[in-house]
Structures are given as C-alpha cells and as structure tokens.
Structure 1
Amino acid sequence: MTVRSPAALDLTGLRTLPSQVWGGIRLVPLVREEPLTDLRLHPRFFGDGAGPVLGHVAVAPRTAYTAYIPHAFVATWTRDGSPAAAYGTQLSTAGPAGPPEHTVRLHLHRRLARREDRDRLRFLPLHLALEGYLALHFGGPSVMWEEWSRRAAAKGLSPRTEEAYTGAEVAGLADALRVFEIHPGQCGVLLHTGDTLAAAFVVPHPEDYRLLHPTLVQDLFGELVHHHALFAGPLPDFRARIPGPGIGSLADLRAAAQEEERRWARFHDATMAAGLLGPAYTWQRVYRMGRFTLSRFLPAFVPKEENHIGETITDERGRTAYLKTFRLSETQVRRGHLLDRLAAQDWHLGATAAAMGLREGELGLRLEHAGFGALLRQDVLDRYRKENRRRAERS
C-alpha cells in the first residue's frame, strides 16, 4: 500500500440535480453526462437476508477486522476500454422471517479486497474506509516513554472499536429510498439528514446505480447522522421560481429552468457539500485495477468541523468512478485528532501537550475520556486526576 499526498475529491463529470425531500431526509442526485462503460459494479449478498451477518476479516498477522457486513461489491473492468458487463449478480429473495434475533451468523472473508479473476475484484464496501480509520496508529506508542503502560507496549490500540447504525435504523431513510425518483443517467447520490451531509455514494454506470440503490439502507452511518434524522423536522424543499417577464417562448422557459438547476448545483456544491468536497484528504492505495485504482482516504481530523472517511475507485486522471463515504462523529474526530498529534510528537505526552497548548495532565485526561486511558500507567492517570482536582479546588 502506498500513501499519496493530500488531495481533494475530484467529482469531474458528475452533475448535481435538484434535491428530493422525504421528512428529514434530503437526497441529491448525481448524474454522469458520459457513464463509464469499462468498469462495472454489482453486489454480492451474504446469507439469505433472514438475519444479521457478522463478517470477520484477517487484515494482518494476529489482527482481524470484525463488523456487520451484509454484502460485498464486485468490480469488473476491461483493459482495452471496451464495455464491461456486471458479472454474477446474486439477488436475495428471502423474507423477514428467519432465525431468532439473538442469532448472528458469522461469514469469514480472506481479505477486505480480494482479486477473483484477471479483471474482477471483490471488496467490502465502506469497510475498507472504516478499517483504515480503526487502523490509525494502531500499533500504539512508537517510543515507550515512561507514562505508557505495559499494555500499550504489548497490544497498542488493540482492541479498537467504534459504533455505527445501519441505514434501517436511520429514521425515514428506507421510505425515502423507496419513493426516490431515479433520474436518467444517475450514477450517485448525496444523502443529507437534517440538512447535514451524511454520506456520498457514486458508481460508474446508471445500471449499476439502479442495482445498488437499495443497498444504501444496509450501509453504516455515524451517530451524528442517526440523531439528525431522528430529531430533525420536515426539511424545506428548494423550489425554483421563474419570473414571468422575459419568458416569451418554450426555449426561454427551458433556458430559465436550466439556469435554476445550475444555480441550485452551485449553491449545493459550494455550501451544503463544502465539508466533503473542500478539504484535502490523505490517500492510501489499496489495489490497482487496470487504468483504475481502488483507494481509501482519511481527513485531517479537525475538531468541530465536518470530517469524512471513505473509499474511491479513480481513473488514471484521478476522476472518481466509485465513491462511498462515512461521516465521523465529533467524538470519533477527537480520537483521530489525538492520535495524529501524539504520533507527530513520537508519542511524547509533554511535547504533545505543549504543541496543543495544554498541560500534560489535561492531555492525559483527554486521552482517558477518548477511551485510550488503558494505554497510560494507572499511577500516572491517578496523578493527573489529583492535579486536576487541586486546580479545580483552587479556582
């Protein structure tokens, strides 16, 4: 795997259309003027749809990734630019009846991305991105300063866990996807909950999107997305208003309508989606696929701002053929921020605290609140707590 320099997402070739609203859910269609024909995606479902599927993937020696993994995507491509066909789609027709709720089936995977043929790759959508976030500085302290515990030396950040919600638990999402109008040429969607950008999903071809559109309800979403959908009231619908003066023909009306569409797209991309499209990300290449590259990316972990992780398939010019993102909660952003700052200072607590404008004890307690307290020696944590109480009493 190789890491590229920070760069922003490139959605060249995708056009934003006016949104559709269902309760607290806003769905913004993305349309390709020229669909990609030499790369195709299709789903591969695990189990019979009768119960939850727990996936277990060995990602490194003595290291495994375990998560709810209902399906995989299979990418098929051609090397000479000729059209590729979606290959081997498996549909699940099972109903809701199934095993008891406490029963969870385990599905073993050899890799997160595994080549199955010369021009075919099976990968686990979104889990490439999530594993990249969980693996962030997973080995723990690079230098064993005296504050770190024996566990930090022996296990690092193992086990590392995060919580997420399935799309079925996001209020209104299933209904929105069911009544959503799929446009001709549509190859993606930007999903907002409570007018907060929750996720982006892009595929190479309109036929792929029609096939994969229902899988959004099986995706994973962060805590912030779930809460916004649950507590948000009905969202306003942005309706175009074309003034009567100056409209003297159908051509004038068509031009005015097209200008309103362009105005909506400029507003959405510059304002509502700026938190995803504006920042630069750190990229990690996962697999080469002819002229395409499968990669995952991490944000800069800036607290109190939008932070998205995700995975892409890009062509030789860096343009996005496939995209799936996950918005991190503020707690998850703080964890990533702390780990990045520690790694930048070789895990020296004093130097990291000084770089962040904190006292060493404050940094230690932040680590504990973020769930990393077990990495510190117990006597060190007790000292930090005692110092904090004394300062609180004096103030």
Structure 2
Amino acid sequence: MTTGGFALTGLSVRPSQVWGAVRLVPLVRDQPIAGLRLDRRVYEAGDPSIVDVGDGTVYRSYIPHAFVATWSQGTEPSAAFGTQLQERPATPRGAKAQTGARAIRRMARRTAPGRLRFLPLHLAMEGYLALHFGGPTTVWEEWTDTAVRHGLSPRVEEAYCGAQVRGLADALRAFEIHPGQCGVALYVADALAGVFVVPHPADYRALHTTLLEDMYGEVLFHYTTYVAGVPDYSAAIDADCVASFADLRREAARQSLDWAHFHDSAMADGLLHEGTYTYEHIYRMGEFTLSRMLPSFRLNEENHIGELISGPGGELAYCKTFRLSPTQAKRGYLLSRLHEHSWDLLATAQALGTEPSQLTHRIEAAGFTGLLRQDVVDRLARTGRRDDAPPGDGRSR
C-alpha cells in the first residue's frame, strides 16, 4: 500500500456542458495511452450477481457489466476487443445457490494473456465495505462474541443507478464528445459525483453511455430533485482587447486556461487537493498497475473512493471514483479511529475528545449496534466510562 494525493495526470479540462442540474466536464488527452485499451462485457440485466472476493468472502450486488483491459508489451498499440469468450459460471465458496443470481468468479480475473476482466467501481466499493472487516483486534469486554468471531459481517451500503439520476440520460445523449476526449468529470448540482477516465478516445466513445449504469450516492440522487438547474459556462472576451484573429485566439486560449484553473482549484478541489488517499495495488498488467483508493475520511468534507490504472510514468490511464455520502464517511471515520486504537472504546473516546457513552451512541447511530454488548453499553450510559478493573479481570480475554 502507498499513500498520496490524486491528480488527473496527462489530462486537460475543456469547458463544461450543462443540462438541468447535470454538468459534464470533458477530460482530453493530447495523445492516447499507448499499449492499453478498455472494453466492456455486458451481463443480463435484472438479477443480482454473487462475487467471490477470494478469501471466502461473498460480495453480492447488481453488476450490469464488466470492463476488459487489454495491454501489450512495450509501447505497441493495443486494439480493444469487441467480443470476448464467456466464462463458465462458478459458485463461490460457502455461497448457497439462489434462483436468478449470477456467479462471477472474482473481482479482477485474468481471462487470457494480456487481458484482465474486472468489475468497474466494485473494486472500489469492496475495498470500502471490507474496511477493518475483521472487527476488534483486541477482545475488549464491550464487543459481542459475534463481533469478535465474525467481524463486521455483513456490511451493506446503498447506491443509486445512474439511470435513476434525473437528467443524466438526456445529458449523455445531447452533449458533444470532444476530439481526444478520454474522460469526464460528472457534477450533480455542482457537487462532484465522480470522475471517469479511459486510455483512448475510441474507448470513451464506446463506454460513454455506461455512466448510466454506474453507482451514485444517495445525496447526489436527491440533488437532481431539489435543484432545477445550474449556470452554464460562458466565455467573456473583452472586445477592446481584440483587434485581429491572433488577438481572438489569444483571448479564447486565456478563457480556456481560466476555466481549467477554476475547475481544478474550486470545483474539483475536494478530490484533487483536499485529501490524502491510501492506494492498494490489486494487479500488475505489464507496465500498468490496477489499484483502488480509500480516503482519509474527513468529517463534513468530500470523501471519494475509487479505482485506477496508472502507467509506468504515473499517468492516469483509467479511473472511476464514487463520492461517499456523509453517513458513509462517518462510518469509515469511526472504523478507522477504532482500528487506530485497537478497538479500545476508552482510548478511542479520549482521542476523539468525547465520553465512551457518547462514542457508543455514535457507533449505534452508524448502524453497528450489533457489535456492542448491551449490558456494557447500559453501564457506560450510567457511568460515562469503563469500570476501573485490573488487567485480565474482564477488560480483555
């Protein structure tokens, strides 16, 4: 694992296009990424899918399609495959057969030399769901036997399909795709919903409409209900500064630079500049690396999870991000703070500047009620602290 920031390396921003509350900001490359192409494999709609994460854990979700990354050795260009051979379904270990459910072998699976099939956004979401999944590292008395033996099982999160986001389908159909466009930053009511990047313009044209099948947070879904529209971008050229075509070109270039600076420094600031991310490397594909990222879980600020493929020079070849809701960010924040203090409620409460009884209330409000013993919670509510007891006398076992 590594830590660091996030940057749209190798991409430049073009002026946005607006449809109602939806704003799409094109991301353009001067040159496509050599040696990597991206295509998709479509699954039948309607039924949920069961995925074996690989450690005996079963992941169940609606998965409309997978992406297939194809890479070549060296710098020779790759061609995206229009069709791929279907895999024979396999039943995950420990999963019961269910009517109408598909079985997919792995989150990321190599299907042929130089070809990897992976589930877009689900790599990122699985990393968030598995955050400190094992539960208490030290068996303090506050935690139930279930929490100790099975950890945070199951973890469930909700998201909305892009087709349910009002105005998104019309925006994707009506908006212009720029020459060299390899990605897009999607805003709903000018809140960054996600970033989507691919290695080649032809890949983007083929995958442009898959934004309708992506997952989006609950808050962003409601934004389209409450916000009718956002202001469109319009260039303001000072006519007094234009006396020739060269002046006009200079003023147009200045407007483009001003817009790009405003986008990176203001609109996308929560993703690009305000957070530190932890990167987990999932798969090595020749010179390219598939990774997923988790935020530092800052309260009352933007928190994005995502997955990306980076090139040998650090350029961003592929990316998908998902904006967590405030509630999801609070869950990640609580789990991270508990993990930092070995799941000791007293030490965690002291670090957060609160009382153990208040911390237990926050844990319950986050949906983790079943992890705590009720008798200990009741005692903390009465005393405000853990009973003083010598080590080995009920505090841990």
For normalisation by structure 2, the TM-score amounts to: 0.91
In the alignment, the residues of structure 2 paired with residue 246 and residue 299 of structure 1 have an alpha-carbon distance, to the nearest angstrom, of: 45
The equivalent position to 1:34 in structure 2, one of 12, 31, 34, is: 31
In the alignment, the residues of structure 2 paired with residue 7 and residue 175 of structure 1 have an alpha-carbon distance, to the nearest angstrom, of: 36
| Equivalence for 2:358 | 362
Residues 123-174 of structure 1, C-alpha deviations (whole Å, 9 max, x = no match): 0000000000000000000001011111111211001100000001111111
The equivalent position to 1:9 in structure 2, one of 6, 14, 26, is: 6
Contact 1:10 1:318 in 2 (8 A): no
Runs of 4+ residues over 6 Å off in structure 1 = none
| Equivalence for 1:346 | 342
Q: Are positions 1:337 and 2:323 aligned together?
A: no
1:55: Cα distance to partner? 1.4
Contact 1:75 1:120 in 2 (8 A): yes
| Equivalence for 2:377 | 381
1:386: Cα distance to partner? 4.9
Q: Are positions 1:54 and 2:33 aligned together?
A: no
| Equivalence for 1:140 | 135
1:263: Cα distance to partner? 0.4
In the alignment, the residues of structure 1 paired with residue 288 and residue 240 of structure 2 have an alpha-carbon distance, to the nearest angstrom, of: 49
In the alignment, the residues of structure 2 paired with residue 380 and residue 174 of structure 1 have an alpha-carbon distance, to the nearest angstrom, of: 51
Residue identity opposite 2:349 in structure 1: A
Residues 257-293 of structure 1, C-alpha deviations (whole Å, 9 max, x = no match): 1110110000011000011111220000000001000
Q: How does 1:45-194 map to 2 (within 5 A)?
A: 45-47=42-44, 51-89=45-83, 105-194=100-189
The residue matched to 1:366 in structure 2 has which SS? helix
In the alignment, the residues of structure 2 paired with residue 261 and residue 384 of structure 1 have an alpha-carbon distance, to the nearest angstrom, of: 58
| Equivalence for 1:318 | 314
In the alignment, the residues of structure 1 paired with residue 79 and residue 20 of structure 2 have an alpha-carbon distance, to the nearest angstrom, of: 37
Residue identity opposite 2:363 in structure 1: L
Residues 303-350 of structure 1, C-alpha deviations (whole Å, 9 max, x = no match): 100000000000112221000000000000000000000000000000
Residue identity opposite 2:50 in structure 1: H
The residue matched to 1:371 in structure 2 has which SS? coil
The equivalent position to 1:270 in structure 2, one of 255, 265, 268, is: 265
Unpaired runs of 5+ residues, structure 1, are: 91-102, 389-395
In the alignment, the residues of structure 1 paired with residue 204 and residue 55 of structure 2 have an alpha-carbon distance, to the nearest angstrom, of: 36
The residue matched to 1:245 in structure 2 has which SS? helix
Residue identity opposite 2:281 in structure 1: R
Percentage of identical aligned residues:
55
In the alignment, the residues of structure 2 paired with residue 299 and residue 163 of structure 1 have an alpha-carbon distance, to the nearest angstrom, of: 19
Unpaired runs of 5+ residues, structure 2, are: 85-97, 385-397
In the alignment, the residues of structure 2 paired with residue 179 and residue 227 of structure 1 have an alpha-carbon distance, to the nearest angstrom, of: 22
Contact 2:54 2:106 in 1 (8 A): no
Contact 2:9 2:314 in 1 (8 A): no
Give me the CA root mean square deviation. 1.4
In the alignment, the residues of structure 2 paired with residue 104 and residue 301 of structure 1 have an alpha-carbon distance, to the nearest angstrom, of: 38
| Equivalence for 2:190 | 195
| Equivalence for 1:99 | none
1:385: Cα distance to partner? 4.5
In the alignment, the residues of structure 1 paired with residue 299 and residue 22 of structure 2 have an alpha-carbon distance, to the nearest angstrom, of: 25
Counting matched residue pairs gives 370
Q: Which moved more, 1:199-208 or 1:225-234?
A: 225-234
For normalisation by structure 1, the TM-score amounts to: 0.91
In the alignment, the residues of structure 1 paired with residue 320 and residue 99 of structure 2 have an alpha-carbon distance, to the nearest angstrom, of: 26
Contact 1:53 1:70 in 2 (8 A): no
Contact 1:187 1:209 in 2 (8 A): yes
The equivalent position to 2:199 in structure 1, one of 199, 204, 208, is: 204
1:243: Cα distance to partner? 1.1
The equivalent position to 1:295 in structure 2, one of 272, 276, 291, is: 291
| Equivalence for 2:92 | none
